[in-house]
Chains A and B, each alone.
Chain A
Amino acid sequence: MADMMQFDLVSPERRLASVQASEVQIPGADGDLTAMPGHAPVITTLRPGVLKVVHGSGNDEYIVSGGFAEITAEGVTVLAEQSMHRTEVTQEIYDKMLAEVRAYHAEVREKGLDANGLIDDAAKLISDMVAMGDHIGLSND
């Protein structure tokens, strides 16, 4: 079994990373999971959170939100709707993201769109976002 695998992180606008990695920690919708070479094939959706890549020359952390990850034995491909390197996330950007999900929550609640548990989903989105903010040390006001 190879001890490295291909890791790709792409957002609609650009390719953020394409490296050989030994370990990828993914914030899956049903909980975090760590993919290592030889992992069983899985497709999982993402919740807003921090994605951590361990590769030959150290670690990298990315903020991801929305999208999914495709894990195979040979590699991991993450397609995230919003994604940036952790060092690029400023308080300002984070505030904007948080404001967006809060606005979305307010909107579905106002319209009473509770068809598929949409309100709960939106509330979870906010708490995920807040947890992510805590993790990277940004304030949630």
Chain B
Amino acid sequence: MPSLKDLKNRIASVKSTRKITKAMQMVAAAKLRRAQEAAESARPYTERFNAVMAGLAASVAGSPSAPRLLAGTGSDKVHLLVVMTAERGLCGGFNGNIAKLAKQRAAQLIGEGKTVKILTVGKKGRDSMRRDYGQLFVGHVDLSSVKQISYGTAQNIARDVLGRFDAGEFDVATIFFARFENVISQVPTALQVIPAAFDEVEGETTLYDYEPSEEAILNDLLPRGVATQIFAALLENNASFNGAQMSAMDNATRNAGEMIEKLTIEYNRSRQAVITNELIEIISGAEAL
């Protein structure tokens, strides 16, 4: 049985934890709103871009002069997994889920006899992948100093990835991130970026003149497409992280509240027991006289 003083201390400590989680929840909520806005405002660009690219890609598909970023290297021996997670934890299963998906994919590819290389973005993913796949790491991008995710951030990652592709380090690149569905649901997603895959164009397509040539445009745009997709994924990830953190902190706050209630009842009960004890002592003392 803990003493009264112990109980009092525990209540005080849980109360201060609740204050912290409550504050973190509110900060995450505010950040989530901004992250969602950023993801929204990036959407028109990504959508138009993909639509045009899909049209272009369809028109050169199958031609021998199709760029390597689109047609691939002709083999799929070496896979690069770009695992994008957050820099920080306290966000429920967010980082773990992305890492889990990436691990599954890595295990599957290795099982098929492929070579796997891993590039991590964000510290948490790196930490949780290290134990099983640490020897496969080829690089890490640190985002802890990045306050606001800008297109430049994505460009730097894309440049890194494209540089490795040009150097022939891998054949297929897949990015892992969490798609933001809503505050309580973030879906870990794998998206292949190299060779580029586009959704089929629906409906009627316009016949465009291309200036300069289709191939020149594709050569110019495909690397930008990689950056665009990474940028969109980073923004989704950021929104997901804040959403996950918000609901995790909300749970933590509620748990702390329950715990305080329980501890307070226990505290009152033992205080009552002490008082009863004292009363019995006084009464039996008086009777003895």
Contacts of B209 in A (CB 8 A): 40-43
Does B211 lie at the interface of the complex (its beta carbon under 8 Å from any beta carbon of A)?
Answer: yes
Contacts of B211 in A (CB 8 A): 28-30, 33, 42-45
A14 vs B41: C-alpha distance in the bound complex, in angstroms? 5
Contacts of B38 in A (CB 8 A): 13
Known: A41-B208, A68-B217. A13 touches B52 (CB 8 A): no
Interface SS of chain B: helix
Known: A68-B52, A68-B221, A79-B48. A13 touches B42 (CB 8 A): yes
Q: How far is the CB of A122 from chain B (nearest CB, A)?
A: 13
Does A66 lie at the interface of the complex (its beta carbon under 8 Å from any beta carbon of B)?
Answer: yes
Interface SS of chain A: strand
Does B220 lie at the interface of the complex (its beta carbon under 8 Å from any beta carbon of A)?
Answer: yes
Counting contact residues on chain A (CB < 8 A from B), the size range is 20 to 34
Q: Check A72–B212 contact: CB distance below 8 A.
A: no
Q: Check B44–A13 contact: CB distance below 8 A.
A: no
Q: Check B206–A72 contact: CB distance below 8 A.
A: yes
Residues of A within 8 A of B (CB): 8, 10-15, 28-30, 33, 40-45, 66-68, 70, 72, 77, 79, 81, 116
Residues of B within 8 A of A (CB): 38, 41-42, 44-46, 48-49, 52, 56, 150-151, 154, 206-212, 216-217, 219-221, 224, 228, 231
Q: For the complex of A and B, list the 8 residue pairs with the smallest distance between their C-beta atoms, beginning with the closest.
A: A44-B211, A12-B151, A42-B209, A41-B208, A10-B45, A43-B208, A14-B41, A41-B206
